[in-house]
């Protein structure tokens, strides 16, 4: 028969375990969420089967301040209404790079993305863009998102702008494979345009 002291220790251990489980679930729901890359739409930045961490605070803070996410951010988002109405899985999540914010005028001409009339330098692109897109102004509270594998990506050039409220989080860290372990870096604007540094994504 267990002594009261043993029973007390056992009860305390279960309570501690329960607290840690609740903390882990809370962190996953509010702060960080693991994702994996099932497609090649973000090649070469993100490889098939890469495992990444997606942080969820930045989109919430941006929304609370009525600010768009930074250019170059790699975002994971719920399927936009346009895709859902076309039969896309409403529970699916996609990953793309933010290339346009509200008020930006975007155009694709001669294999190059233009933003507000200036070419966007995208060091990760392995080939010129093989489609054209007439000038379009990104509406308020929307983002224009494209895959880094520009010619094989289901993105804004096909289905239009993304409501920022659909963003789940931004990709911040790749934890698998270990050979590519490390943070996902965001680009920094320059006077000549936007020079995009290496970045990373999430699902789809």
For residue 116, the domain's CATH number is 2.10.109.10
Torsional class of 47: left (φ above 0), alpha (ψ -120 to 50), beta (otherwise): beta
Nearest to 194 by CA among 124, 133, 137, 142: 124
| Angle, CA 65 vertex, CA 188 and CA 100 arms, to 5° | 40
Number of structural domains in the chain: 2
Q: Six-digit token pair at 1?
A: 């028969």
pTM above 0.85, yes or no: no
Residue 201 included in any domain:
no
| Residues 133, 79 share a domain | yes
What does 117-138 look like in DSSP terms, one character per residue? TEEPEETT-SS---S-EEEEEP
- pLDDT top residue among 117 and 18: 117
Active site residue 204: no
Catalytic residue among 8, 13, 39, 41: 41
Residue 176 included in any domain:
yes
What is the rounded average pLDDT of the residues 180-191?
62
Residue 168 included in any domain:
yes
Active site residue 41: yes
| Residues 111, 81 share a domain | yes
Burial degree of 91 (CB within 10 A; 0-12, 13-18, 19+): exposed
Domain, as residue range, for 119: 33-196
pLDDT of residue 201: 35
- pLDDT top residue among 65 and 128: 128
- pLDDT top residue among 184 and 144: 144
pLDDT of residue 64: 84
Catalytic residue among 3, 13, 16, 96: 96
């Amino acid at each position: 028969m267990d002594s009261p002291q043993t029973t007390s220790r056992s009860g305390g251990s279960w309570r501690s375990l329960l607290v840690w489980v609740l903390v882990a679930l809370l962190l996953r729901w509010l702060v960080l969420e693991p994702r994996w890359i099932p497609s090649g739409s973000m090649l070469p930045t993100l490889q098939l089967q890469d495992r990444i961490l997606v942080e969820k605070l930045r989109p919430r803070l941006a929304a609370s301040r009525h600010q768009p996410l930074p250019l170059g951010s790699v975002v994971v988002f719920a399927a936009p209404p346009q895709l859902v109405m076309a039969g896309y899985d409403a529970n699916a999540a996609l990953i793309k790079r933010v290339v346009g914010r509200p008020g930006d005028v975007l155009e694709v001409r001669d294999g190059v993305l233009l933003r507000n009339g200036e070419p966007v330098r995208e060091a990760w692109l392995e080939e010129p863009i093989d489609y054209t897109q007439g000038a379009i102004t990104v509406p308020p509270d929307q983002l224009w998102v494209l895959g880094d594998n520009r010619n094989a990506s289901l993105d804004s050039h096909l289905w239009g702008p993304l409501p920022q409220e659909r963003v789940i989080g931004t990709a911040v860290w790749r934890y698998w494979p270990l050979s590519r372990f490390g943070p996902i870096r965001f680009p920094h604007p320059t006077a000549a345009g936007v020079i995009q540094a290496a970045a990373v994504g999430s699902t789809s």
